Amino acid sequence: MMNLILFGPPGSGKGTQAKRIGQEFGVTHLSTGEMLRRAVAEGSALGLAAREQMNAGRLVPDGVMIGLVRERLRRGVGRGFILDGFPRTIEQARGLERMLGEMGQHVDRVLSIVVPRDEILRRLLERARIEGRSDDCADVIAERLAVYERETAQVAEWYRERSLLTEVDGGRTIEDVWSDIRGLIEESRRPA
Ligand code: AMP
């Protein structure tokens, strides 16, 4: 069993790296952003509730997110998970700790991809041009970055205080970042 969390601002390559972690280490990739985008596409009650905040680049309420993740974890994740996009607030981190505790589990390691702000802006505007994701226009990008800096950076600190956080230099190629991430996970997997 190995439970991992990956942090990184929008445009840090977090989604790509999380997918690879899932494939390489046989843990379930859980992206709350993807779960929400699917709910929006399906037009479910969750999607209707989340759509407005997503389009504005704001966070969906903690209670909704904690419920969503709780329900997903209850269905089982096999050999563990890599969480991508959750927790994004201290409240969500506490919620995760509570639900894992109820299941007799814990978070093993938290990796944070760190990228300078101007590099992030450059990448996001490029992605907006190529993919046309509705939350990738300039205003919304600025809001998502501000939200990340305001809320989610604190969550990384919360895990640092618990000695679970390791930072990875994300200002490099996908392959270089991956090679660091893989090494760190292999290291933490080895029995002490
Ligand atoms: P992402 O693909 O992780 O960048 O998420 C896309 C959008 O979904 C975010 O900008 C938020 O509006 C929403 N979202 C995803 N995960 C969370 C979360 N843990 N808490 C609140 N909102 C979230």
CA-closest candidate to residue 26, choices 2, 60, 47, 57: 2
Q: Give CA–CA dist 120/106, Å, rounded.
A: 31
Q: Give CA–CA dist 62/40, Å, rounded.
A: 18
Taking the centre of ligand 1 as the mean of its atom positions, its distance from the CA of residue 35, in whole angstroms, is 9
User: For ligand 1, is residue 65 a contact (CB within 6 Å)?
Assistant: yes
pLDDT for residue 26 = 96
Mutating to test ligand 1, I would choose from 52, 60, 140 the residue with most ligand atoms within 8 A of its C-beta, which is 60
Task: Work out which ligand 1 atom sits closest to the CA atom of 58.
Answer: 12
Please give the full DSSP string across 55-75, using - where no structure is assigned: HHTPPPPHHHHHHHHHHHHHT
Residue nearest to atom 14 of ligand 1 (CA): 33
pLDDT for residue 65 = 97
pLDDT for residue 136 = 67
Task: Work out which ligand 1 atom sits closest to the CA atom of 87.
Answer: 19
Give the 3-state secondary structure of residue 168: strand
Q: Give CA–CA dist 114/169, Å, rounded.
A: 5
pLDDT for residue 191 = 63
The residues that are catalytic are 14, 88, 127, 133, 144
CA-closest candidate to residue 176, choices 20, 27, 53: 20
Our CA angle for 12, 129, 144, nearest 5°, is: 45
Give the 3-state secondary structure of residue 36: helix
pLDDT for residue 169 = 97
Q: Give CA–CA dist 7/27, Å, rounded.
A: 17
User: Which parts of the chain sit beneath pLDDT 70?
Assistant: 133-136, 190-192
Taking the centre of ligand 1 as the mean of its atom positions, its distance from the CA of residue 190, in whole angstroms, is 32
Taking the centre of ligand 1 as the mean of its atom positions, its distance from the CA of residue 36, in whole angstroms, is 8
User: For ligand 1, is residue 9 a contact (CB within 6 Å)?
Assistant: no
Contacts of 88 (CB under 8 A, 6+ apart): 59, 65, 151, 152, 155
pLDDT for residue 190 = 66
pLDDT for residue 43 = 95
Q: Which two tokens mark 16?
A: 């790509």
User: For ligand 1, is residue 53 a contact (CB within 6 Å)?
Assistant: yes
